Chains A and B, each alone.
Chain A
Amino acid sequence: MGECVNSIQFAAGPGFQPPSTSDFNLPPAFGHSLYATKPIFLVFLSVILISAFFIASSRKAAVVPGKFQFAGEMIYGFVRNNIGEEIIGHDFMRFVPFLFTLFTFVITNNVFGIVPFLQFPAMSHVSFPYVLAIFSFIVFHWVGIKKQGLGKYLKGIAFMPGVPKAVYVLLTPIEIATFFLVRPLTLSLRLFANMFAGHLLLLVFITGGDYMLHDPHLFMKILSPFSFAFGIGMSFFEFMVQCLQAYIITLLTALFIAGALADEH
C-alpha cells in the first residue's frame, strides 16, 4: 500500500507532500520494538480509561444518581435499551455485556482520533477492527449453533425457507458468502475505512495549513488560517462520525445476533 501513495499529488502544488497511507505507519515508540507502537498504547490506555470510568461511576451507586453515575448509566442504558432490547428482543440481557464492551471500546478508540496529543484513532489500523469482527463473527455463529443445532443452523443459512427450489442455485452461494465472508469483512472494513479516511482528511487540512503558513507568498499565509479552521470544523464532523461508527458496529453485531437467534431467517 505504501509506494502508490506519492502518486496522489493532484491538488497539491509543487513541494507540498500530501498526507498518505505511510503516515499511518508510525515509528516504534520505544527503541526498535515493532510491538510498542502508538496504536497499541492507545488501546491499552482506552481499556484503562473505560475501566476506571465505569468502576468510578458505579462504585458509589445511589438511588438518586450523581452526575458521574448518571453519565455512566446513560451510556449503559443507551446500549441496553436502544441496541440490546430493541434489536435482540427477549433474552437480550445475555448479550448486553458483549455489546456494551464493544461499544465503549470502539467509541473510546475512535474518539482518540480528535483528542489533543493522542490524535490517532487506533481503529485506522485494520488489524484492530479485524479482531473485533472475528469476535462478533464467533459470537453470532456460536449463538445460532447453540440455539438451533449445527445442522439446522447451517441449513437455515444455506436454504432459506419459502423460496422456489430453482432459486437456490443463485441464493445458496450468495447467502453462504454473506454469512461467512461479507458480514465480518464489511463489519471490520467499514470501521477501518471510516477512521482511516477521517484521519487522512484531518491530516490534509492541518498539514496543508502548515505548508501554506510557511510559504513565502503572503497570499498563501493569509489563506492558511482557513485551512486550519476547516480542519477544526472537520474535527467536529469527525467526532460525529466516530460516535456513529461505534453505534453502527454495535447495531450490526446486535442485528447479526438477533438474526441467528430467530427461528427462521
Chain B
Amino acid sequence: MHGTLNLVGYGLSAIGPAIATGMIFAAYISGVARQPEARSVLQPIAFLGFALAEALALFGLVLAFVLK
C-alpha cells in the first residue's frame, strides 16, 4: 500500500468542521422546535454558519490535493 499522508491529515482536519456543522444544525433545529415562527429568521443564520464551517473542510480538501 502506498500513498500520501495528506489524506489522513485531511480526514483528521475534517473532524472539526464536521462537529461544527452538527452543532450549528442542532441549534437551528432546537430553535425552530421551540419557536416554529422563528424559522425564517434562523434559516439564513444557520446556513451562513454552515457555509463558514464547511469552507474550512473544503480548504482542507483543496490543500490535500495541492500540497505534496
List chain A positions with a Cβ less than 8 A from chain B.
1, 4-5, 7-10, 21, 82, 86-87, 186, 189-190, 192-194, 196-197, 244, 247-248, 251-252, 255
Least distance between B68 CB and chain A CB atoms (Å): 5
Dominant secondary structure at the B interface? helix
Q: Can you report 24 residue pairs joining A to B where beta carbons are below 8 Å apart?
A: A4-B68, A5-B65, A7-B3, A7-B4, A7-B6, A8-B4, A8-B7, A9-B3, A10-B3, A21-B65, A86-B40, A186-B55, A189-B55, A189-B58, A189-B59, A190-B54, A190-B58, A192-B62, A193-B61, A194-B58, A247-B47, A248-B50, A255-B44, A255-B48
A193 touching B47 in the complex, CB below 8 Å, given contacts A4-B68, A7-B3: no
Would you call B58 and A1 a contact (CB within 8 A)? no
A4, A9, A248: the one within 8 Å of B51 (CB): A248
* Closest chain B residue to A248, Cβ basis: B51
Least distance between A255 CB and chain B CB atoms (Å): 7
Interface size class of B (residues with CB under 8 A): 20 to 34
List chain B positions with a Cβ less than 8 A from chain A.
1-4, 6-7, 40, 44, 47-48, 50-52, 54-55, 58-59, 61-62, 65-68
CB-CB under 8 A from B65, the residues of chain A are: 1, 4-5, 21
Which of B54, B65, B67 has the most chain A CB atoms closer than 10 A to its own CB? B65
CB-CB under 8 A from A21, the residues of chain B are: 65
Q: How far is the CA of A5 from the CA of B4 in the complex (A)?
A: 10
Least distance between A192 CB and chain B CB atoms (Å): 8
Q: How far is the CA of A81 from the CA of B55 in the complex (A)?
A: 26
Least distance between A262 CB and chain B CB atoms (Å): 15
Given contacts A4-B65, A193-B59, could you give 16 more A-B pairs where the C-beta distance is less than 8 Å?
A: A5-B65, A7-B68, A8-B4, A10-B3, A10-B7, A82-B40, A86-B44, A186-B52, A190-B55, A193-B61, A193-B62, A194-B54, A248-B47, A251-B47, A255-B44, A255-B48
